[in-house]
Amino acid sequence: MKISYKLQDKFDLVIFFAVILLVAIGLISIYSATFNHPTANKNIDKQLFFVAVSLFILFIVYWLPARTFRIAALPTYLFSLFILILVLFSGKTIYGAKSWMSFGVIGFQPSEFAKIGLIFFLSKWLTDTKRDINNFKVLFYTILIGFIPIFLILLEPDMGTAIVFAGISLVMIFWSGIDLFGLFVVLSPCVILFASLFGTLPFIVALFLVIVVLFYFKQNLFTSGTVLVINLAAGFIFEFILKILKPHQVKRLLTFIDPNSDPLGSGYNALQAKVAMGSGGLFGKGFLHGNQTQLRFIPEQWTDFIYCVVGEEFGFIGSILILLIFLTLFLRLLNLSSLARDKFGKLTIVGILTLFFIHFTINIGMNLGITPVIGLPLPFISYGGSSLISNIFLIAVVLNIYRNRKRIN
């Protein structure tokens, strides 16, 4: 009992075993989803290799000195921008986005590495004692730090990943202690962008509401005018986004509003996923016995639509089990954010939690037909080396922060 307590004091077993369970469920689901596929053995073997590499990295990162991540924050961020630019010129186009880089048989997504860079650098930037996030100039530079990688990712174009970066930036800015007006400045362009998705009238209504709120805050004319210009620009940015997106990506947005508008095209996967989820019932059809899964109604189901494999073959019980494991992981991460020894550690954990939560929410929503199909994998479960390695790396960072929580500089 004493040994177990001492281990838990240095190594968070709750987070570790939650992640191991999710990875194990992922391997089972990938095996099932690829069982009747020509690349069955290749995919599961690759994923097992990625798991082994990830666990090796986890234990290395766990033992790194406490200051490592703060020191590496700026170089990591700058390098991530470099590879995001590089992939635009020499990247490999997959599913309409030039988001992959290949070195022989090894391929990776620079955006996965860039998530780490953004979280580290924002944590360092926002916890500098000389900076006040409620200062308009500091807030502007903070938004710029998040916007640069978002802009580069939109050029690929990969809207799903851009949304993740935007969400991480917004939550970390909020958590750093921004006041109500500052929060409004950050969120209002997002509202304008979302309203623009539904047409001109919703855009005008949203812009009118922004003007009303500006009157409520009673800021000086220059500040209010600047915020209004930013929101107007957000509307034009939406038009720019629509122009750079591929036709199939625009269709995905339209089928989010009405999946039945293109049931055999961009809405096909979402509709088939709902069929798979619904057909599983309470206990599911059994391992390797799902009709939608084994007959391959959903192309490459082992990636973005892995959750409906669980829903069909293990039913409501299996689906809820995954939700409970993620809930345990999220609550534990939230709790650990208050145990970190410094603000950098606290904010880093919040950024990591936000990353996982956005992926989780959108991916589950895609499988249930309540969010757009924007190509975000389910953390630790979906097939893919880049995402698994980066996610396990971030878990290792959390475990490192937990190990060093009682140390004093």
Q: What's the pLDDT score for residue 70?
A: 93
Positions of the chain with pLDDT under 70: 1-8, 37-41, 95-96, 103-106, 197, 238-270, 274, 276, 290-300, 407-409
Compute the distance between CA of residue 382 and CA of residue 291 in angstroms, rounded to an integer: 20
For residue 266, report the phi and psi dihedrals to the nearest 5 degrees: -70, -20
Q: What's the pLDDT score for residue 202?
A: 83
Domain extent for 372: 2-403
DSSP type of residue 382: S
Compute the distance between CA of residue 69 and CA of residue 344 in angstroms, rounded to an integer: 9
DSSP type of residue 198: T
In the chain, the number of structural domains is 1
| Cross-strand partners of 101 | 108
Does residue 409 form part of some domain?
no
Q: What's the pLDDT score for residue 33?
A: 82
Q: What's the pLDDT score for residue 223?
A: 82
Q: What's the pLDDT score for residue 184?
A: 87
H/E run at residue 94: strand 92-94
| Cross-strand partners of 98 | 93
Does residue 62 form part of some domain?
yes
Which has the closest alpha carbon to 268: 281, 253, 252?
252
Does residue 226 form part of some domain?
yes
The single-letter code of the amino acid at 182 is G
Three-class SS state of 92: strand
Does residue 408 form part of some domain?
no
Q: What's the pLDDT score for residue 283?
A: 80
Does residue 292 form part of some domain?
yes
Q: What's the pLDDT score for residue 140?
A: 86
Residues 6+ apart with CB under 8 A from 1: none
**pLDDT tens for residues 142-189?**
989 998 999 888 888 787 888 899 999 999 998 988 888 888 888 888
H/E run at residue 101: strand 97-103
Q: What's the pLDDT score for residue 330?
A: 96
Q: What's the pLDDT score for residue 311?
A: 83
Compute the distance between CA of residue 262 and CA of residue 246 in angstroms, rounded to an integer: 16
Does residue 334 form part of some domain?
yes
SS in 3 state form for 137-183?
A: HHHHHHHHHHHHHHHHHHCCCCHHHHHHHHHHHHHHHHHCCCCHHHH
Q: Residue 210 corresponds to which tokens in the numbers above?
A: 């922004």
**pLDDT tens for residues 121-133?**
999 999 887 788 8
Q: What's the pLDDT score for residue 79?
A: 95
Does residue 169 form part of some domain?
yes
